[in-house]
């Protein structure tokens, strides 16, 4: 279990370059399985989850060449399908959430897809029904071995396009079904599709490979199946969740920070949601400039004067992956906020640690927390904590950087899973953080 030691209470200053988006990279990497031709991808983040997926692809027989920092080529022209039934795959495939998206492309191209129950954050139930109902709709047979927690889909005669209304707008579920449907016979219509920038990027990449997907960016996707797909080049967008994390970090530590090349048009409501907490941020070209909030930041109220609440929703709503960061930033705001995590059941329990540090938070139930901001009149106190999940981890790190004294965070693998070389990048803007184990 890795550990960070953080001396808090210092303001940071400088520029930070966001990494490529974790959740987009996971989709894009799985899409290389759809063609025997070479696919080149740029801006792949060097993070645990992505590296685990690249390892899985390698085991599966994908030829991988590193072309430079964040750039790789992939060629899936001699895959070892037996690996998917091996004990090794049962172990390695369950190491991350993103591995589930191997199933769609394998089913679409080879008529078989297998996966052990995928890992990822333990943040409540994470059902896979949408994925498998989608494959069944396309004509696949489904098997689940409860004992081994091993899922399988097979379609020896290929898939056939159809209309489907998804039960929920699942991000990885939509990506999986799209990757299966691009090679199905005939037309597939997916209504209530998720439409995060991750998915827009995936669909645009697939279209460059020869797929025929329309409705990209909306919740109604239409896919005309094609016989085969070819190679392409793709560049992963900057990670909007990392960008949001840096905005929160800047505000909470009263730091003047410029986040470079953020691809503003893909940030949706993220900037305006931070502004609801009174955080100032300025668009400068494609950068975000955050001034040092020397006098703090004040929570806005709704037009009718009612208490501010911030909740998650499928895109273009506010992403659930930034709610923990909103919550920690709210602990030093002037004013009160209700944080409502609608999607996940166990993502707010980390507030216990913030309460230990002196934050005023009432956990109303597993989904809702009321935060009574300190307006910087009382600094959080350093403590020792264990990171329970990736976004709670970064939120605790932000809290530690703003706190008085030296904090220790254990289980930082959770943070490394999604943030590239975070300690070095934070040190470059003045943070006192060391990786001590």
Ligand X SMILES: C=C(OP(=O)(O)O)C(=O)O
By rule CB under 6 A, what string of x and - marks binding of each residue 359-388 to ligand UD1? ------------------------------
Does 407 bind ligand UD1 (CB under 6 A)? Our answer is no
Asked if 296 and 334 count as a contact pair (C-beta separation under 8 A), the reply is yes
* Sole window of 36-44, 75-83, 270-278, 317-325 interacting with ligand UD1 (rule: CB under 6 A): 317-325
Tokens of 261: 């090349």
Please state the closest distance from residue 369 (CB atom) to ligand X, in A. Answer: 17
Asked if 206 and 14 count as a contact pair (C-beta separation under 8 A), the reply is no
Size of the site for ligand UD1 (CB under 6 A): 20
Q: Would strands 308-311 and 336-340 be described as parallel, antiparallel, or unpaired?
A: parallel
Residue selected from 5, 23, 387, 402 as contacting ligand UD1 according to rule CB under 6 A:
23
Please state whether the peptide bond connecting residue 84 to the residue before it is cis, i.e. omega within 30 degrees of 0: no
Active-site residue, 321 included: no
Q: Residue 20 or 120: which CB sits closer to ligand X? A: 120
Cα 212–Cα 215–Cα 216 angle in degrees, nearest 5: 85
**Could you say which of ligand X, ligand UD1, none residue 314 binds, taking C-beta under 5 to 8 angstroms by partner kind?**
ligand UD1
Tokens of 232: 């392409």
- Restricting to residues 276-315, which ones interact with ligand UD1 according to CB under 6 A? 314
By rule CB under 6 A, what string of x and - marks binding of each residue 144-183 to ligand X? ----------------------------------------
Q: Residue 121 or 420: which CB sits closer to ligand X? A: 121
- Restricting to residues 156-175, which ones interact with ligand UD1 according to CB under 6 A? 168-173
Does 26 bind ligand UD1 (CB under 6 A)? Our answer is yes
Asked if 8 and 404 count as a contact pair (C-beta separation under 8 A), the reply is yes
Does 54 bind ligand UD1 (CB under 6 A)? Our answer is no
**Could you say which of ligand UD1, ligand X, none residue 168 binds, taking C-beta under 5 to 8 angstroms by partner kind?**
ligand UD1
Q: Quote the CA–CA distance of 326 and 180 in Å, as a whole number.
A: 36
Report CA 346 to chain centroid distance, whole Å.
Answer: 17
Tokens of 86: 């091996």
Q: Quote the CA–CA distance of 59 and 57 in Å, as a whole number.
A: 5
Q: Residue 312 or 321: which CB sits closer to ligand X? A: 321
Does 131 bind ligand X (CB under 6 A)? Our answer is no
Q: Residue 155 or 267: which CB sits closer to ligand X? A: 267
Please state the closest distance from residue 285 (CB atom) to ligand X, in A. Answer: 27
Residue selected from 52, 90, 109, 126 as contacting ligand UD1 according to rule CB under 6 A:
126
* 155: nearest Cα among 213, 225, 222, 230: 225
Does 95 bind ligand X (CB under 6 A)? Our answer is no
Residue selected from 92, 239, 242, 321 as contacting ligand UD1 according to rule CB under 6 A:
321
Residue selected from 274, 344, 350, 419 as contacting ligand UD1 according to rule CB under 6 A:
344
Residues 46, 77, 121, 239: which is the catalytic one? 121
**Could you say which of ligand X, ligand UD1, none residue 418 binds, taking C-beta under 5 to 8 angstroms by partner kind?**
ligand X
**Could you say which of ligand UD1, ligand X, none residue 137 binds, taking C-beta under 5 to 8 angstroms by partner kind?**
none
Q: Quote the CA–CA distance of 395 and 13 in Å, as a whole number.
A: 19
Beta bridge partners of 63: 75
Sheet strand arrangement including 3-7 = 384-386, 406-410, 3-7, 432-435
Residue selected from 52, 90, 97, 131 as contacting ligand X according to rule CB under 6 A:
97
**Other CB atoms within 10 A of residue 104 CB:** 33
Please state the closest distance from residue 205 (CB atom) to ligand UD1, in A. Answer: 15
Which positions ≥6 away from 14 have C-beta within 8 Å? 257, 258, 428, 429, 430
Q: Residue 76 or 319: which CB sits closer to ligand UD1? A: 319
Give the DSSP per-residue string, 325-393: HHHHHHTTSBSEEEEE--S-SSSSTTHHHHHHTT-EEEEEETTEEEEE--TTSS--B--EEE--SHHHH
**Other CB atoms within 10 A of residue 221 CB:** 24
**Could you say which of ligand UD1, ligand X, none residue 390 binds, taking C-beta under 5 to 8 angstroms by partner kind?**
ligand X
- CB burial of 374-392 (b: ≥16 within 10 Å; e: otherwise) equals bebeebbebbebbbbbbbb
Does 121 bind ligand X (CB under 6 A)? Our answer is yes
**Could you say which of ligand UD1, ligand X, none residue 169 binds, taking C-beta under 5 to 8 angstroms by partner kind?**
ligand UD1
Q: Quote the CA–CA distance of 73 and 58 in Å, as a whole number.
A: 12
**Could you say which of ligand X, ligand UD1, none residue 420 binds, taking C-beta under 5 to 8 angstroms by partner kind?**
none
Q: List residues binding ligand UD1 (CB under 6 A).
A: 23, 26, 97-98, 124-127, 168-173, 314, 319-321, 343-344
Q: List residues binding ligand X (CB under 6 A).
A: 22-23, 49, 97-98, 120-121, 321, 390-391, 418
């Amino acid at each position: 279990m890795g550990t960070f030691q953080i001396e808090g209470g210092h303001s940071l200053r400088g520029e930070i370059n966001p990494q490529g988006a974790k959740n987009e990279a996971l989709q894009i990497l799985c899409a290389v399985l759809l063609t025997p031709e070479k696919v080149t991808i740029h801006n792949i983040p060097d993070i645990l989850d992505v590296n685990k997926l690249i390892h899985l692809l390698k085991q599966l027989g994908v030829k991988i060449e590193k072309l430079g920092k964040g750039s790789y080529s992939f060629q899936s022209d001699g895959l070892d399908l037996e690996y998917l039934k091996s004990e090794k795959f049962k172990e390695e495939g369950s190491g991350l959430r993103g591995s589930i998206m191997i199933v769609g492309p394998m089913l679409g191209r080879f008529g078989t897809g297998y996966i052990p129950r995928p890992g990822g954050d333990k943040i409540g139930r994470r059902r896979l029904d949408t994925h498998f109902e989608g494959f069944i709709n396309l004509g696949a047979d489904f098997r689940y071995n409860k004992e081994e927690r091993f899922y399988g889909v097979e379609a020896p005669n290929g898939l056939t396009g159809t209309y489907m209304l998804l039960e929920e707008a699942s991000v990885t579920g939509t990506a999986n079904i799209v990757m299966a449907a691009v090679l199905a016979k005939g037309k597939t219509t997916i209504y209530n599709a998720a439409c995060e920038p991750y998915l827009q990027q995936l669909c645009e990449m697939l279209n460059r490979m020869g797929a025929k997907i329309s409705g990209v960016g909306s919740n109604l996707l239409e896919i005309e199946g094609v016989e085969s797909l070819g190679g392409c080049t793709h560049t992963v967008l900057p990670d909007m969740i990392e960008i949001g994390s840096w905005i929160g970090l800047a505000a909470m530590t009263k730091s003047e920070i410029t986040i470079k090349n953020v691809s503003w048009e893909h940030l949706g409501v993220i900037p305006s949601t931070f502004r609801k907490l009174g955080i100032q941020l300025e668009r400068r070209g494609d950068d975000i400039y955050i001034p040092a909030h020397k006098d703090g930041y004040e929570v806005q109220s709704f037009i009718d004067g009612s208490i501010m609440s911030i909740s998650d929703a499928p895109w273009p709503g506010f992403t659930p992956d930034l709610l923990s960061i909103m919550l920690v930033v709210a602990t030093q705001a002037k004013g009160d906020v209700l944080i409502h995590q609608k999607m996940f059941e166990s993502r707010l329990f980390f507030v216990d640690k913030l309460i230990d540090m002196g934050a005023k938070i009432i956990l109303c139930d597993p989904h809702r927390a009321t935060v009574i901001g300190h307006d910087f009149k009382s600094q959080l106190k350093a403590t020792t904590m264990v990171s329970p999940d990736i976004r709670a981890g970064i939120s605790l790190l932000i809290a530690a950087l703003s706190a008085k004294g030296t904090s220790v965070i254990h289980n930082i693998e959770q943070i490394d899973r999604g943030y590239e070389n975070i300690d070095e990048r934070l040190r470059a803007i003045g943070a006192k953080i060391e990786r001590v184990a």
